[in-house]
């Protein structure tokens, strides 16, 4: 679902790049967590959930950036 949002809903190229990097990082954490309990360790769980929140709120950030560009 996050990939769909990034591909089809985000228009700002800079924001799309940042969100793609966050999604790729969280996917890497999920793949590496298959063998070990990586997501249960201290800083990784916070990073994972915060990055996912930014990806799913990307539509709203994109709208705010678009509104800001129209004003300037």
Model confidence pLDDT, tens digit, residues 4-37: 999 999 999 999 999 999 999 999 988 888 877 7
Stated as kind and residue range, the H or E segment containing 19 is helix 13-32
Q: What is the pLDDT of residue 23?
A: 96
pTM: 0.87
The DSSP result for 48-66, as a single string, is HHHHHHHHHTHHHHHHHHH
Instruction: Check: CB of residue 39 under 8 Å from CB of residue 29.
Output: yes
C-alpha–C-alpha distance, residues 20 and 3, integer Å: 8
């Amino acid at each position: 679902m996050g990939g769909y949002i990034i591909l089809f809903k985000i228009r700002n190229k800079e924001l799309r790049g940042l969100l793609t990097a966050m999604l790729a990082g969280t996917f890497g954490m999920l793949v590496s967590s298959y063998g070990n309990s990586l997501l249960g360790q201290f800083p990784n769980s916070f990073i994972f959930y915060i990055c996912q929140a930014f990806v799913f709120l990307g539509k709203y950030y994109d709208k705010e950036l678009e509104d800001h560009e129209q004003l300037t």
